[in-house]
Amino acid sequence: MDNLPDIFRIAFIGFGATAVMDVWLKLLKRMGVATQSFGLIGRWVGHLLRGQVAHQAISKAEPIPGELAWGWLTHYAVGAAFAALLVMAVGPAWMLSPTLPPALAVGVLTVAAPLLVMQPAMGAGFFASKTPAPLKSCIRSLLNHSIFGVGLYLAASLIALVQF
């Protein structure tokens, strides 16, 4: 990928990792495990853009036009931002010869975003404390973000292999 600028490489890695996480979430859903709608994330972002950060329960907040699209856009933009965080932490050379440990570590660390920012702001409390099963929710978030970390590695490996 020597001809592809780093910013595009990072974006592709983030998008690829996010897609891996989405496949995982789809598998969970097919197995009967409840997953959150990206529409609720879009609703939160829509209200955030209007100046409201926190909600008692985002599901009861006023719907936002295009909230599902906003949710998906946010989901993939955050994935790209987390990929940029990985590259900033380990250096751009990692993209040419990716290894699993730093990608998995960043994936695990990104679980702080939902547990400490999004869930509290959306009414679920810190570490999902206001949900019926906080520990189960936290473990599921950790597993989902670990899968994202594996996705960072897989996406980077594929991009490095193709070498645009």
DSSP labels, 39-51 = HHHHHHHHHHHTT
Query: Along the 164 residues of the chain, how does pLDDT read in single tens digits?
Result: 456 789 999 999 999 999 999 999 999 999 999 888 899 999 999 999 999 999 999 999 999 999 999 999 999 999 999 999 999 999 999 999 999 999 999 999 999 999 999 999 999 999 999 999 999 999 999 999 999 999 999 999 999 998 75
8 Å CB contact between 13 and 155:
yes
Q: Give Cα separations from 103 to 22, 92, 113 (angstroms).
A: 17, 13, 16
- Residue position matching structure tokens 């990985």: 86
Please give the pLDDT value at position 163: 73
Burial class (CB within 10 angstroms; exposed 0-12, middle 13-18, buried 19+) of 162: exposed
Q: Which residue has the tokens 């897609």?
A: 19
Encoded tokens for 51: 């100046």
pLDDT at 144 (0 to 100): 97
Report the C-alpha gap between 60 and 114 in whole angstroms.
19
> Which backbone phi and psi does 137 adopt, to 5 degrees?
-65, -40
Rounding to the nearest 10 degrees, give the CA dihedral for residues 57, 62, 64, 69. 30
